[in-house]
Amino acid sequence: MTDQLAGPAPATTTARGRRLPRLVVGGRDLTVQAAFVTLIVLLVATAALTSDVFLTPANLTNLLKQMVTTGLLAFGMLVVILTGGIDLSVGSVVAFSGIVTAGLVAGLPIPLAMAVGVATGIGFGLVNGVLVARFGLAPFVVTLAALTTIRGLAFVYSEVPIAPEDPAFFTLGSALAGPIPVSTLIMLAVFLAGGIFLTRTPAGRSIVAIGGNAETVRLAGINVRRHVALAYTISGACAGLAGVILASRVGIAQPSVGVAFELDAIAACVIGGASLAGGRGSTRATFGGVLVLVLINNLLNLYGVQSFWQQVLKGLIIIAVILVQRTNRVRT
């Protein structure tokens, strides 16, 4: 996980002799970081003081497992948001990847079935990316259409839930490495590798720069279409992996799962300070957004708050954070 990524700043020279916007990496807003830490501490303290269940090993382990789906989707969403796009299809990809994997377990080795599940996510992400990058379609429209299309395909594949009988299928979602779920370690590895990708590799830095000024990046000799398509492919891969892990964790795959998961992913990115206009975001802050969101969800569940009120709260959080970001930009 890395520090804040920002859009174009002073230029550096590319291998082709052109000028590429330099990415400002490592700029730290200590006020924002302090606010994040304070919020997380307050949430944990509130939960610990008001619930006898929160600090139990079972709840903490469950909390770590619940972070995985939101975390993977949030990282993929962050990569797309950095380009100035959005991916509304991730919840449907989770459902399709999970149910395809569960359906293939009976006829294929489990690792191969899971690989196919992740591959379906990669395929859907690539299609979204090509439609956005190659044909210039609006990301909102493309991924909204994909949301309904992929959800329909999940129901075409199976109208009823699929519950694999092989106990080995549940290993990925339930295995522990000491006190930490293996699935949580996978999510952390994705954030770590993703942070390095976005800040230390030409492709990752180009993705961030595109959100800041795509035309400048194009003039610098960078293939904007290819990198935008790559961003959506990464989002699809993360959604496919999330679907496979979720099906393994709960032991059953349903075509109806994943509704509004995209809202959680967007909320985590926005809470982490990512700009929906593109070019600005942070893997570290996005992970903090995931942690805040999961803590709030866990606390509300412990209080017995109904799920639809939780959705209301998430929507209000997104609006509030966007208003704060806009106010800060106006002041600066």
Task: Write out the two tokens for 154.
Answer: 């999940």
- Name the domain count of the chain: 1
Is residue 57 in some structural domain?
A: no
DSSP-assigned letter for residue 208: H
Is residue 192 in some structural domain?
A: yes
Instruction: Give the angle subtended at the CA of 261 by the CAs of 176 and 187, to the nearest 5°.
Output: 30
Is residue 236 in some structural domain?
A: yes
Is residue 205 in some structural domain?
A: yes
Residue 111: CB partners within 8 Å, gap ≥ 6? Answer: none
**With left for phi above 0 and alpha for psi between -120 and 50, is residue 327 left, alpha or beta?**
alpha
* pLDDT by position in tens, the chain (length 332): 655 565 544 444 444 444 444 333 344 445 556 666 776 777 788 777 877 888 889 889 999 999 999 999 999 999 999 999 999 999 999 999 999 999 999 899 999 999 999 999 999 999 999 999 999 999 999 999 999 999 999 999 999 999 998 999 999 999 999 899 999 999 999 999 999 999 999 999 999 999 999 999 999 999 999 999 999 999 999 999 999 999 999 999 999 999 989 999 998 998 888 988 898 888 998 999 999 888 888 888 888 888 888 788 777 877 877 777 677 666 65
Q: What is the residue range of 320's domain? A: 67-277+306-331
Task: Compute the 3-state secondary structure of the chain and give helix, strand, coil in percent, each to the nearest 5.
Answer: 70, 10, 20
Is residue 204 in some structural domain?
A: yes
